[in-house]
Structure 1
Amino acid sequence: MDRKLTLYILLGMLLGVVVGQVLNQTVAADVIKADIAPWFKLLSDIFLNLIKMLVAPLVLSTIVVGIAHMGDSAALGRIGVRALTWFITASLVSIGLGLLLVNIFQPGIGAPIPDVAEATAAVGEVKELKATDFILSIFPKNAVEALATNNILQILVFSIFAGVALSAIGERGKALVTGADALAEMMLQVTGYVMRYAPIAVFGALANVVAASGLSILGTYLTLLLEFYFSLVLLWVILLGAGAVFLGRRIFALIRYIRQPLMIAFSTASSEAALPKLFEQLDRFGVPRRISGFMLPLGYSFNLDGSMMYMSFATIFIAQAYGIDLSIGTQIMILLTLMISSKGIAAVPRASLVVITGTLAMFGLPVEGVAIILAIDQFLDMGRTATNVVGNAVATAVITRWEGMLEVEEPEVVELPHAPSHTAADGRAGLDLDPGNFGDGRG
């Protein structure tokens, strides 16, 4: 089924581009906007709504079960420190690489300058981003509200408290842990049903964009697109190379396993859409659910590598378009501002544009410059969203290996004649490891 689904998604992408381009060339723009585009958008919106329906209960149940089964607060703290160390390092690399390459390529030179009204209407009200507001927003005042709004960061905080508490009360909390475990399994089963609709959603998403704008828009912004995607490729090489240091040849298996969530993220430009399938594929790769259930939600708030690069790239691009020369010191300050203000944006549509707009306003740069990239933001968003998925998959696999808990995903390894000796070497017994051995340094 997995290989068929991959093929169907690819066919949906191709068919969406073809149908969209045909409509763009044969049907009047106002007819497309009023009568056709809403139906294409409906196809993708149904899928996104179904995915959003899964996210909150899936994240809650996986984190609670993972922490409760971990049984060792020291192990949890160690994993958290290692995860945040990796996330911060990856974010700095992503933003720094974007800053370096945009200064080398200078794609903003000669870019078309839009009017203020267009930018204001498209982006909306700009709110000043304060570090204190962000920190306060991490902590939920109402757990039900956090679940209802799919606020992953707040769900993460509540789930950590719940998981640690259930671990502390031991046997008395067993029924709740069992219920959360069953909920996680149920949500994964529902995910399987929803994913069958993915090829149709992919078709609708791409047909909608291409029908409205046509492929010709790519020619106008071809330089920016090529340079940005080249930058993303370099970032992929760095992330996968860093992963290979820990995972060895298994990095190729990881790439194979995440291709489906990768395509879903790319075609829908939604990190949320790929999350349930990413959980499932990392299970198959050999990552215990108690690790992925903690790492992925945390990564969706703190490890958005593609968005990091995009925001540094786009901010300097706009300054270049308006002929504004920024000093290295100012660019570094912009980099650090983006690092802080971008956390927790994964669940917000086009949140990167809002963060960029707020950063421009903070540094006295022309906010209306955001309109320059609005025309192709969908295509830029596809690349940065796929990169977010790659970054979080690599981070989760690396931390699992670092903890010595990575299991074997290929049956033939287990079937070897001397299979019993593999228990210590391949980490198959990861789920049965004594908590005191979590940090045994394997990998």
Structure 2
Amino acid sequence: ADQAAAAAKNLSLITDVFLRLIKMIIAPLVFTTLVAGIAHMEDAASVGRIGVKTMTWFIGASVVSLLLGLIMVQILQPGAGMHLPQAALATAPAASTDAFSLHGFVTHLVPTSIFDAMAKNEILQIVVFSLFVGTAVAALDDKAPAVLNLVEQAASIMLKVTEFVMKLAPLAIFAALASTIATQGLEMLAVYAKFVLGFYGSMGILWGLLFLAGAAVLGRRVLPLFKVIRTPALLAFSTASSEAAYPRILDALPTVGVRRRIVSFVLPLGYSFNLDGSMLYCTFATMFIMQAHGVHLSVSQQVFMLLLLMVTSKGIAGIPRASLVVIMA
């Protein structure tokens, strides 16, 4: 047992470094992608009716995805009963809700210094500051092209840095699994299998709901639509990145009667604001971790978690396994 614990400690070094790398990129990634996305939102509004319909669908689908993940993980309870020995250590004093108050929460939302918020990885404060900056840029007549260009370039750089970090994800996951199994035993694999199967079952339900929603709007025309997106969807699944499917879908949709101008507007916007599968995974995985460590969230805490995931999950479509960054945040 002592040798297994020592080996697990050595293996966990890889995982610890990976998690520190993720923490390193969270603040600049959230800030740059949110500001760039919000600054362009006026473009969507100028399109008028199509823009309103598009954003209504995206927000509605996002809410359904988040709620579905939350409901399914509560029903299946894949992490219950694990009783990880690290639970006591993992619960930092800052997580205590004894002193929680509405006044304290609201005032904590607003940063006194964005640099302090970034240094401490205070995600909610970064989100609030990003909303103000992005809205201000969008409200300017010329949209501050120099600043917007700088933010977009910074966002591109941070997405590339995130891509580099995510290349270490398989190694970190290997180390984490090996370390856990070395100390917990092979029965842990059954727990992870329950998690994976539960998640894919939830994804199947989400696909069914999306298909029914499409059928309600399009009728029989939904069948050829799903036929042409089947291959790009499989490509996205096999590469773990929906960006890989983008060119195929861009070419395929006009063949089933979708006008090119609508495709060219809705599809890029959807890649930032309509990450239904990622959001489902984020709620499912986050609550699984909570269950594994015996942490219980109140209903209000779960609602706040969903709202935070709704905002922070934007802009991760092109990076394989980037949901890990959102879960860490």
**TM-score higher than 0.5 here?**
yes
Superposed displacement of residue 143, structure 1: 3.3
Letter in 2 for 1:91: S
AA matched with 1:311:
C
Does structure 1 residue 282 correspond to structure 2 residue 253?
A: yes
Is the CA contact (8 Å cut-off) linking 2:77 and 2:288 kept in structure 1? yes
> Cα offset for 1:142?
4.6
The code of the aligned residue for 2:128 comes to T
1:131 aligns with 2:150: no
Match of 1:322? 293
Q: Aligned pair in 2 of structure 1 residues 262, 74: CA closer, same or farther (>3 Å)?
A: closer
Q: 1:110 and 2:81 equivalent? A: yes
CA distance in 1, matches of 2:312, 2:154: 23
Gaps of 5+ in 2: 1-39, 91-118, 138-144, 160-169, 179-185
Please tell me whether Structure 1 or Structure 2 has the larger radius of gyration of its CA atoms. 1
1:268 corresponds to 2:239: yes
Specify the code of the residue in structure 2 equivalent to 1:332.
V
Aligned counterparts of 2:217 and 2:257: Cα–Cα separation in 1: 14
What SS class does the counterpart of residue 315 from structure 2 fall into?
Answer: coil
- Aligned mates of 1:328, 1:110 — CA distance in 2: 21
What is the CA distance between 1:126 and its match in structure 2? 8.0
Counterpart for residue 80 of structure 1:
51
Contact 1:109 1:320 survives alignment (8 Å): yes
Q: What is the deviation of 1:137?
A: 5.7
Q: Deviations over 1:167-195 (max 9, x none)?
A: xxxxxxxxxxxxxxxxxxxxxxxxxxxxx
Asked if 1:101 is matched to 2:72, the reply is yes
Instruction: Give the Cα–Cα distance (whole angstroms) in 2 for the partners of residues 97 and 261 of structure 1.
Output: 24
Q: 1:343 to 1:223 in 2, by over 3 A?
A: same
Q: 1:261–1:277: 8 Å Cα contact kept in structure 2? A: yes
Match of 1:310 among 259, 266, 281: 281
Gaps of 5+ in 1: 1-62, 68-72, 120-124, 154-206, 359-443
- The alpha-carbon distance between structure 1 residues 74 and 222, as it changes in their structure 2 partners (threshold 3 A), is closer
Q: TM-score, normalised by structure 1?
A: 0.45
2: distance between equivalents of 1:352 and 1:337?
Answer: 13
Aligned partners of 1:256 and 1:322: how far apart in 2? 42
Give the drift of 1:248: 0.6
Could you tell me how far 1:74 is from its partner in structure 2? Answer: 8.7
* Alpha-carbon separation, structure 1, partners of 2:85 and 2:151: 39
The 8 Å contact of residues 240 and 320 in structure 2, kept in 1 or not, is answered as no
- What amino acid maps onto 1:131 in structure 2? V
Q: Secondary structure at the match of 1:248?
A: helix
- Which digits, 9 at most, give the CA deviation of each residue in 1:199-236, with x for residues without a partner? xxxxxxxx99999999x997562101111111111111
Q: Following superposition of structure 1 onto structure 2, how do residues 83-232 of structure 1 map, counting pairs within 5 Å? A: 83-111=54-82, 113=84, 127-129=121-123, 130-135=126-131, 136=133, 141-143=147-149, 146=152, 150=156, 221-232=192-203
Q: Distance between the aligned counterparts of 2:45 and 2:326, measured in 1?
A: 35
Structure-2 separation of matches of 1:148 and 1:353: 21
Aligned residues: 226
Q: Indicate conservation of the 8 Å contact 2:83/2:293, yes or no.
A: no
Q: Which moved more, 1:231-240 or 1:106-115?
A: 106-115
SS in 1 for 2:47: helix
1:236 to 190, 207, 216: 207
TM-score by length of 2: 0.59
Q: How far 1:250 moved relative to its partner? A: 1.5
Q: CA RMSD of the aligned region, Å?
A: 3.6
Q: Residue 260 of structure 1: SS of its match in structure 2?
A: helix
Are 1:298 and 2:266 matched, yes or no? Answer: no
